[in-house]
Amino acid sequence: MKKFNLLSLNITLGAYPEFLDILISMSKSNQSSYTCVANVHMLVEAYKDKQFADLVNSAELVTPDGMPLAKGIQLLYGKKQDRVAGMDLLPDLLRISEKDKLKVLFYGGTQDMLENTKLYCERVYPDLSLAGLISPPFRVLSMEEEDAYIAQINSSGANFVFVALGCPKQEKWMAAMKGRINACMIGIGGALPVLIGMQKRAPKWMQDASLEWLFRFTQEPKRLFKRYFHTNSLFLFLFTRKFLKTKLKIANS
C-alpha cells in the first residue's frame, strides 16, 4: 500500500477492507509490527517533534483515523480515501479474530477499564481467545518490569496486541517494542472506552461532517480544551498553507 505525505506524516492509502486484510495477515504471521492510527492530534504532535514523526513513519501502516486526514489527502492529491478509524478497526478486528481463532491482548488503560473490557468481550465475542489484559503502572518502567511484560506478552501467543496508552505514549512504546514483541501491535487510544460503553461515540452525521472531535469535547471539556482548540487551529493553519503552496506550484508549472 502506498503512503502519501500529509504535513509531517506519511499516511497509508487504501480502501478500508484492504487495511483489515493486511492487519489480519500480519497477525497470523506473528511478525513484529506496529500500526499507528493517525488523527489531527498525532499529526500536530509529529509536526512539533521530528523524532516522534520518524517513529510514526516507521510503522508498517499509518491509517487516516480522522475525517480531516482523509479529506486532506483528497484535497492535496485528488485521491478519495476511506476513513480508517480505530473505533471501527477495533470491533472489526475482534470479530474477525473470534472467527479465525486469533488471540488478542490488551495493554494499557486502568484496571477498571480492562475489567470492563473483559466483561464486554465475554458478552459480545464469547468465543474470542483473550490472551491477556495488562494495566502497566503510570510511570516509567524499570528494565526488569519491561522485560517481564515482554515475556508475558510473547508467552501468551497473542496475535494482536491492542495498545491503549494514549498518544504519543502508545506510539513510542510500540516503536520501542518492534522486534521484541512477536505480534501485530495497534495503537487504539480512545477507541477502547468507546467500544466498551464507558464513553459515547458521536452520531454518524457528526462523524461524516468531521465533527466527532466536537462531540468528544462536550464529554470531556476540561481535559480536551487545549488539545482540540490549540491543536485543531494549528492543523487548519498548517494544512491551509500547504494546500495553497501546492496549488500555487501547480499553477506556475
How high is the mean pLDDT of the chain? 92
Q: What percent of the chain has pLDDT over 90?
A: 75
Residue 105 has pLDDT above 70, yes or no: yes
Q: How far apart are CA 14 and CA 51, in angstroms?
A: 26
Cα Rg of the chain, angstroms: 18
Helices (H), the chain: 16-29, 40-48, 50-57, 67-77, 86-100, 111-124, 143-156, 169-177, 191-195, 204-208, 212-219, 221-225, 231-252
Beta strand 184-187 with 160-163 is parallel
3-class SS at 138?
Answer: coil
**Residues 29, 181 contacting (CB under 8 angstroms):** no
CA atoms within 13 A on the CB side of 232: 15
Say if residue 138 is exposed, middle or buried (CB neighbours under 10 Å; 0-12, 13-18, 19+).
Answer: exposed
Residue 53 has pLDDT above 70, yes or no: yes
Q: How far apart are CA 200 and CA 207, in angstroms?
A: 13
Dig out the grid coordinates for 67 from the structure. Answer: 475525517
pTM: 0.90
Q: How far apart are CA 209 and CA 205, in angstroms?
A: 6
pLDDT given at position 146: 96
pLDDT given at position 43: 96
pLDDT given at position 130: 98
Residue 183 has pLDDT above 80, yes or no: yes
